[in-house]
Amino acid sequence: MVLSRGYEERLAAAYMEGKTPLFNMANGPLPGEMHLSNGQEPCAVGVCAHLRAEDTVTATHRPHHVAIAKGVDLRAMTAEIFGKQAGLSGGRGGHMHIFDPRVNFACSGIIAQGMGPAAGAALARKLRGEPGVAVAFIGEGAANQGAFHEVMNIAALWKLPFLCIIEDNGYGVSVMKKDSTAVARNDVRAAAYGVPGVYVPGNDPYAIYAAAGEAIERARAGDGPTLIEIETWRLAGHFMGDVEGYRPAGEKDALFARDPIPAMRQRMIAEKTATADDVAALEAEAKATLDAVFDYARSAAEPRPEEALEKVFV
């Protein structure tokens, strides 16, 4: 969580380079859209702590926390986000298209799009008789997309080793969940497919870990998919540059007061899982990792322009 948050903070700073005084998304070392995951770290770590390299994860347009928790090569991922030749795809994908087949991670830019590829990976493992589950991370807005329902039905019908994790951050860009979704909680939609539905309130990494553990165990045992909705919150805007005028006054301050990282730090120390020194050492280690990773990505070579013509077919 600390590594992930530090990662996003450094990306945010780098993103703003060349974008002041006049904000233009096309400028600076990190052009294009940028969707940060600040605040949503518990969803990623609570689920991915149970996963192994052979397990597939697909994430969304807001993918960094999940990628980091899944163990994606951080240097190559950062180089990709900076559009460098040494990036995971040589700069062809950028921050919404991160593929690391070494740990079976992929993400994509369209809502609910990762549902099918994850369920397809689960089907592949099942057909081959190999171990491995697949997890699709989606947002709460994606539960209103056709792909979500089609894939939930097929995954349930075929009893695939599959999990759908809904990160409910309350907003589809600017539209509140209550204004887009006919039910208050998406876990109830699991009933439509005859699979367990679980709701985890409070953006609590411990509770997420417990719920995901049970679901993943069920998937590994061949008992089919689970739908989990996690209440989380987005401490950044939808994208960098979003002034979030759609939020009620005071909402953002209240969310910052419930930042899951200080809460977890306190809990670890209170429960004596770790000392304050342990936590400080962990934070220092994260900082050192980030220093190295960002130095590497910034100094890495740009792709040759003509490389754009390669890898369309393999």
Would you say 159 or 287 has its CB closer to another protein?
Answer: 159
Contact 180, 172 (CB under 8 A): yes
Alpha carbons within 13 angstroms on the beta-carbon side of residue 264 total: 18
Torsion region of 280: left, alpha or beta (phi above 0 gives left; psi -120 to 50 gives alpha): alpha
* Shortest distance, position 151 Cβ to another protein, whole Å: 5
3-state secondary structure of 250: coil
Which residue's CB is nearer to another protein, number 158 or number 206? 158
Mask 126-155, x = binds another protein (CB under 8 A)? -xx-----x-----------xx--xx-xx-
Cα–Cα separations (whole angstroms), residue 206 to 18, 175, 267: 40, 29, 10
User: In the range 274-313, which residues lie near another protein by CB under 8 A?
Assistant: 310-313
Q: Which residue, among 106, 73, 71, 68, has the nearest Cα to 87 in the 3D structure?
A: 73
Burial (0-12, 13-18, 19+ Cβ within 10 Å), 158: middle
Task: Report in angstroms how near the CB of residue 221 gets to another protein at its nearest.
Answer: 19
Beta carbon of residue 182, minimum distance to another protein (angstroms, whole number): 21
- In whole angstroms, the minimum distance from the beta carbon of 89 to another protein comes to 3
Q: Compute the distance between CA of residue 265 and CA of residue 276 in angstroms, rounded to an integer.
A: 8
To another protein, the closest distance from the beta carbon of 150 in angstroms equals: 3
Could you tell me the smallest distance in angstroms from the CB atom of residue 1 to another protein? 27
Nearer to another protein, 93 or 260 (CB): 93
Q: How many residues bind another protein (CB under 8 A)?
A: 43
The three-state secondary structure class of 175 is strand
Q: List binders of another protein among 66-125 (CB under 8 A).
A: 87-90, 92-93, 97, 99, 101, 104, 106, 108, 110, 113, 115-125
| SS3 at position 172 | strand
Binding positions for another protein, rule: CB under 8 A: 56, 58, 87-90, 92-93, 97, 99, 101, 104, 106, 108, 110, 113, 115-125, 127-128, 134, 146-147, 150-151, 153-154, 157-158, 310-314
